[in-house]
Structure 1
Amino acid sequence: MLKAFARDETHPVIRWLMTDARRLTDPSEFLGSFALELRAAGVDVSRITTGVPILHPQIFSFSGLWQLGKGTSERLYRTDPGVAAVLSNSPIGIAYQGGGPVRCDLTAPPQEGEFAVLADLRREGLADYVVYSVPFADGSHKALSLATARRSGFDADELALFAAMIPAVAFNLEVQALRRTARTLLDTYVGAQSGGRVLEGQIRRGGGETIWAVIWLCDLRGFTNLSETLPRDALIDLLNCYFGPMCDAVAAEGGEILKFIGDAMLAIFPIEAEAAATCRAALTAAERAQVAVAEENRRREGLGQPRIEYGLALHIGDVLYGNIGSDTRLDFTVIGPAVNLTARIESMCRQLGRQLLLSSDFVKAGAIAAESLGAFSLKGVGAEQQIFAPIRAG
């Protein structure tokens, strides 16, 4: 069957790539199914990889790996100066440049200066390895590699099929890459949970829902003075050293970072089950951030750099979670009286000489050990509000 269809678009593998495969948006699911289709068509393939450089602040590329008897896995390669050096001695690097195909006989004795990956492939018991460049519509090139353990290697009909199916493979990989890029950009600039909602189509202005959540608002102290006195790069570095621990702490405890507002950060911890557990998670995140920033300040003091001073407030309440803005520019965020109250409580950090303040609702919902700092009239809030500070164990 393989010989009859090897150079024909009616080949079952190419037909699958052009039809059913298009519905498989998950890269791992696609790769596993692709391998099964090849083997069902009589192709004795033992290993397949896809390599796709992507737009990501930390990741250079992702690679899908399928191995016979082991299934699929995904490998992410971080953006690093060493990546270029690795690719310079790799058939994948050749494919990324639009070259190839590159075919390697793994049954031949190792040669000086050969591709570094070949030693690993020999240890896996593979005999033949071929890498193809996969062209995308934007002019870039990705990579597809196939290997077999059959000692005679791939035959002429299998190689003809591989060459014929590259355009169909390219279509599927490009759709997956575009979706991954869209999700990456949404996660990076909107947040993972909000980004997921946007990707699912929740983009209508005014669309949203009322949710119960812990609200986190932190604000850098003395930013105006810092922005007037620090060089640009030093100011950006300070902001990164401040936002980094905040973001890491929120993410580690299941929170969602919604936005940066100048030198402030708004985040939420949606309550899906037990409010007390969510409150404790948010408080743990706040204390984790305090420890990290304190450590960062010790480092900065040793370098003669300005300290990071901030205020942080935690509150719990109903918020409207959805899209606001114009017809052409929307912001997926939370709004409502609870958000406003959180901001007012945070503004009291300087007056009360505290880094972390809690609302009475937060203390009650989380059964938090806290001391009252008094009742205060807050701008835009009707009744006086009790404000608390956490009591640390020990």
Structure 2
Amino acid sequence: MSAPPNGDPGAAYSNVVHWLTSETRDQRFIDNIFAELCVRLRRAGIPVKRAALHVLMQHPQWRGARIFWADGMREATITRVDYDVRERPEYVGSPVQEIHNGAAEVRENLEDDPSRGRKHSVYHEWRSEGLTDYVAWPMYHTLGKRHVAAFATDRPGGFDQAHIASLSALLPILALVSEIRIKNRLARTLLETYVGAHAGELILAGATRRGSGTTVHAAVMICDLRDFTRISDNWPRDDVIDILNNYFDAMSEPIARYGGEILKFMGDGLLAIFPLSAPQACTNLLRAVSDARQAMAALNEKNKETGRTSLNYGIGVHVGDVMFGNIGSRTRLDFTVIGPAVNMAARLEALTKQLGRTVLLSRSFADLLENEPGLEPVGEYPVRGFSDPVELFTYHG
């Protein structure tokens, strides 16, 4: 092993191991730990020039992530990896694929004649960058989860055997340190996926007791797809699922873009809130509605071209205090909102079909908007479950 700038290389490496096992407990993010690990390895005389962790994840959009560090970087970068990566040239035949396919080690001497080595383009790229040696190993987590740790150097002659032995010996420790951070990130991702970012944060912070919750002043939006029973009866199952997913994409992405939070999907409907603690929450909700209508128009054009049915929908919007928290049985909870404001939004959504309007807004919501173009009075109408008629508006934005 190369000697560090000062002191005994064995002691310096032991310090790296001690730091990794005992001094990282307060660091939440594996990318920060990985970057500092690589810096400490260089100081200990192990000539790591660049390194990467290739981590598999459970995420609705991403198959995994690549955590990358190179000498001179203060922080590691994280790149998300799509589900279709396995069909891409950058993956097929790569060292990561070799590890995923069962290899216990991938080692490539980048100083050798390229004609004698592996042919994947990434090795040519690394040679052109002056790297001399590359090694990758599987990094095992519990229940058979298999990730990849890789290291490269520009040292003439590459890594020596002491370097390789030291890096290999770190893997079980790095696996333990990384697994808890990745599981924490996974828990956060799954909660964000299924209950939304804000609710997920509350649950992770300990808001898991039945009946616990807070009162939130918010604009409430409920959207429902029309004639879904007819669609589900007349189209194959996979087509129905695809139709629903496209519809939810068109509706959901504008809601997230303008600061709303979708709390649940209800069959072919969704419930979202825009807390009024955010500036311009009501205006933002209308912007989300406007963008969603444009997205739905584009989707219906696409459906028309592919022979699918056009989709109709209704949106009801009201504003008021809602209880935001845990509702359910002793063993199965739902983190959601309840209250008269939610009920009113649901009733207005139902009225859209009766009145032939795509969007219905309550007077209470409209009063919070300032000089908003596109609002049109519809009149006063009785609303089931409420004693007084409600003045309603539609929106043409």
Q: Which band: TM-score by shorter chain?
A: over 0.9
Higher mean alpha-carbon deviation, 199-208 vs 58-67, is at 199-208
Partner of 1:101: 105
Partner of 1:115: 120
Deviation at 1:303, TM superposition (A): 3.0
1:328-343 equivalences under 5 Å are 328-343=331-346
Aligned-residue identity in percent = 37
Q: In the superposition, relative to structure 1, how do residues 98 and 231 fare at CA in structure 2: closer, same or farther (>3 Å)?
A: closer
Can you list the C-alpha shifts for 1:69-108, whole angstroms capped at 9, x where unaligned? Answer: 1331001110006447644411122223442322222222
The 8 Å contact of residues 218 and 311 in structure 1, kept in 2 or not, is answered as yes
Partner of 1:168: 173
Q: TM-score, normalised by structure 1?
A: 0.92
Q: Does 1:19 align with 2:25?
A: no
Higher mean alpha-carbon deviation, 282-291 vs 376-385, is at 376-385
Counterpart residue identity of residue 91, structure 1: P
The 8 Å contact of residues 90 and 122 in structure 2, kept in 1 or not, is answered as no
- Aligned match of 1:188 in 187, 190, 193? 193
- Aligned match of 1:320 in 318, 323, 327? 323
Deviation at 1:255, TM superposition (A): 1.2
Extract unaligned runs of 5+ from structure 2. 1-6
- Aligned match of 1:289 in 270, 288, 292? 292
Extract unaligned runs of 5+ from structure 1. none
Q: Does 1:358 align with 2:361?
A: yes
What SS is found at the alignment partner of 2:142? coil
Counterpart residue identity of residue 72, structure 2: G
Can you list the C-alpha shifts for 1:312-344, whole angstroms capped at 9, x where unaligned? Answer: 022222111111111211111111111111111
Counterpart residue identity of residue 158, structure 2: G
Partner of 2:3: none
Counterpart residue identity of residue 309, structure 2: P
- Aligned match of 1:304 in 292, 307, 322? 307
Q: In the superposition, relative to structure 1, how do residues 217 and 2 fare at CA in structure 2: closer, same or farther (>3 Å)?
A: farther
Q: In the superposition, relative to structure 1, how do residues 2 and 270 fare at CA in structure 2: closer, same or farther (>3 Å)?
A: farther
C-alpha separation in 2, matches of 1:227 and 1:139 = 39
- Aligned match of 2:62 in 44, 59, 63? 59
Can you list the C-alpha shifts for 1:347-386, whole angstroms capped at 9, x where unaligned? Answer: 1101211101111121111223312111111111232211
Q: In the superposition, relative to structure 1, how do residues 84 and 333 fare at CA in structure 2: closer, same or farther (>3 Å)?
A: same
The 8 Å contact of residues 95 and 134 in structure 1, kept in 2 or not, is answered as no
1:137-286 equivalences under 5 Å are 137-274=142-279, 277-286=280-289
What SS is found at the alignment partner of 1:348? helix
Counterpart residue identity of residue 99, structure 1: A
Deviation at 1:3, TM superposition (A): 4.7
Alpha carbon RMSD of aligned pairs, Å?
Answer: 2.0
- Aligned match of 1:375 in 360, 375, 380? 380
C-alpha separation in 2, matches of 1:364 and 1:340 = 19
Counterpart residue identity of residue 393, structure 2: F
Deviation at 1:2, TM superposition (A): 6.0
Counterpart residue identity of residue 89, structure 1: G
Partner of 1:4: 10
Counterpart residue identity of residue 367, structure 2: K
Q: TM-score, normalised by structure 2?
A: 0.92
What SS is found at the alignment partner of 2:368? helix
Q: Count residues in correspondence.
A: 387
Deviation at 1:267, TM superposition (A): 0.8
C-alpha separation in 2, matches of 1:123 and 1:202 = 53
The 8 Å contact of residues 252 and 285 in structure 1, kept in 2 or not, is answered as yes
Q: Does 1:77 align with 2:81?
A: yes
The 8 Å contact of residues 85 and 91 in structure 2, kept in 1 or not, is answered as no
Counterpart residue identity of residue 82, structure 2: R
Partner of 2:51: 48
The 8 Å contact of residues 98 and 141 in structure 1, kept in 2 or not, is answered as no
Q: In the superposition, relative to structure 1, how do residues 297 and 273 fare at CA in structure 2: closer, same or farther (>3 Å)?
A: closer
Q: Does 1:89 align with 2:93?
A: yes
Deviation at 1:286, TM superposition (A): 0.6
Counterpart residue identity of residue 285, structure 1: A
C-alpha separation in 2, matches of 1:97 and 1:13 = 31
What SS is found at the alignment partner of 1:55? coil
C-alpha separation in 1, matches of 2:102 and 2:169 = 16
C-alpha separation in 2, matches of 1:130 and 1:237 = 42
